[in-house]
Amino acid sequence: MDLVNILKLPALVIFAYMLGSVPWGFILTKLFTTLDIRQKGSGNIGATNVRRIAGNTLGIITLAGDVFKGAFPVYLAINLTGVNGFWAEIYVSLIAVSALSGHLFPVFLKFKSGGKGVATAAGCFIIISPIACFFAMLTFIMLICLCNRVSVGSLGAALILPVAVWKATNSKVLAMCAVFISIVIYLRHIENIKRLFSGTEPVI
């Protein structure tokens, strides 16, 4: 790897975090409605709350934006280093975690009011392992159809993701990255889990 590409490595970590910090749900609802999405519904800036409060169109655009935040920096990382090899996998995982961290703790919202990470994680793994992401998304859709709750689909997809990544890539590094991200997603869904047990979680 030449010097120029070596210098790009730390810059891409910062870029991934900054791109991940772009709060699409907040921006879109501010632009096209009079609402502050942080004060409505669940208070979350992610696509589910945006769709519920501001309608399907803004919800879909928010979803696309949040997926892009994970996919684009990971795509750049893989093109910079390749996904094969221990250190390349470490770097790609670092970029994925950095993008997710921006989404969870966005600098543009003073590190508060971040999303729950599902769409951005999906964007990361669409690039890292499309096959694993397909099975996680299939789980997500099936559980939504069965339970009519986005949170159940999200938790199911997060549970299956590390296994799917391990089977698809045979990479301990990428599988551990998936484990870490799945744990983070579960932690961000603690309130949803409580509502599921109490029977008060909203349906779609």
**How many CB atoms are located within 10 Å of the residue 174 CB?**
24
Calpha distance 12→71 (Å, rounded)? 13
Does position 1 have pLDDT exceeding 60, yes or no?
no
Does position 40 have pLDDT exceeding 80, yes or no?
yes
* Region 44-72 average pLDDT: 93
Is 24 within 8 Å of 66 (Cβ atoms)?
yes
* Region 26-55 average pLDDT: 89
User: Would you state the pLDDT for residue 8?
Assistant: 74
Higher pLDDT, 108 or 204: 108
User: Would you state the pLDDT for residue 7?
Assistant: 65
> CB under 8 Å, gap of 24 or more: what pairs does 175-181 form?
176/93, 177/93, 177/96, 177/97, 177/128, 178/125, 178/132, 180/97, 181/96, 181/97, 181/100, 181/117, 181/121, 181/124
**How many CB atoms are located within 10 Å of the residue 6 CB?**
10
Tell me the percentage of the chain whose pLDDT exceeds 70.
Answer: 96
Does position 128 have pLDDT exceeding 60, yes or no?
yes
**Average pLDDT of every residue of the chain:** 92
Q: Is 77 helix (H, G, I), strand (E, B) or coil?
A: helix
What pTM does this model have? Answer: 0.91
User: Would you state the pLDDT for residue 6?
Assistant: 63
Does position 4 have pLDDT exceeding 60, yes or no?
no
User: Would you state the pLDDT for residue 152?
Assistant: 94
